[in-house]
Structure 1
Amino acid sequence: MDADADEITSLVGREVYSNNGVFVGEVEDIQLNLNAEAVTGLALTELNADLFAAQMTGQKGVIVPYRWVRAVGDIILINDVVERYEGDDADSEIAV
């Protein structure tokens, strides 16, 4: 289990980009479901002001669902965050 914990904590501090190449933010923390032993979300800070300026009202960051993650390497790629965030179901997808 220690190897899994090391992998999870290694996500903190990585930059997150949409698969379109747009910078989204930086991973500040990880949201976990302890019962299922699974990562459920990424808490992002240092957000791209162009993406979130209209919705940010003194908030420090957002939590994006982990199911959006496409790839993890030196950076983290997520699915089309711009389109999802600006869409009709934005409130149900990203927690601000």
Structure 2
Amino acid sequence: MDESPQKITTLVGREVYSNEGVFVGEVADVRLDIVDRHAVTGLALAQVNQELFGDLLNTQKGIILPYRWVRAVGDVILINDVTLHDVLEELTQPNEDPEDSAIA
């Protein structure tokens, strides 16, 4: 397995799926923490699965998933299945921490 660093832009355009193969969305952009760690902290998803998010996204462009939910990155990005439930919970409740998921 190649462990060499990759450009962040290689994440843009990749499809995001749950561990069980449910399409979540496509990466449109990344959120970076350039002050402390120069690390990716979130994935901004567009073209999200309307069956998962439905009416919650009527006037919104997409969602931002915390990068800590990412399980694997390859040709596609896999997130833990439990996070789909977490995203739906966070989207329906007021978000107190801006570093967690949000509607974009």
Once the two structures are superposed, the pairs formed by residues 29-44 of structure 1 within 5 Å of their partners are: 29-35=29-35, 36-44=37-45
Structure-2-length-normalised TM-score: 0.79
* Identity score, percent: 54
Amino acid of the structure 1 residue aligned with 2:88: E
Structure-1-length-normalised TM-score: 0.85
Question: Once the two structures are superposed, what CA deviation does each residue of 1:7-64 show, in whole Å capped at 9, x if it has no partner?
Answer: 2100000000011211000000010000121100000001000011131131111000
Q: Does structure 1 retain, via aligned residues, the 8 Å contact 2:53–2:88? A: no
Instruction: Identify unmatched segments of 5+ residues in structure 2.
Output: none
Q: How many residues align?
A: 92
Give 2:88's aligned residue.
86
Give 1:62's aligned residue.
63
For the residue of structure 2 that corresponds to 1:60, the secondary structure is coil
Amino acid of the structure 1 residue aligned with 2:58: T
1:23 and 2:30 aligned: no
Instruction: Identify unmatched segments of 5+ residues in structure 1.
Output: none
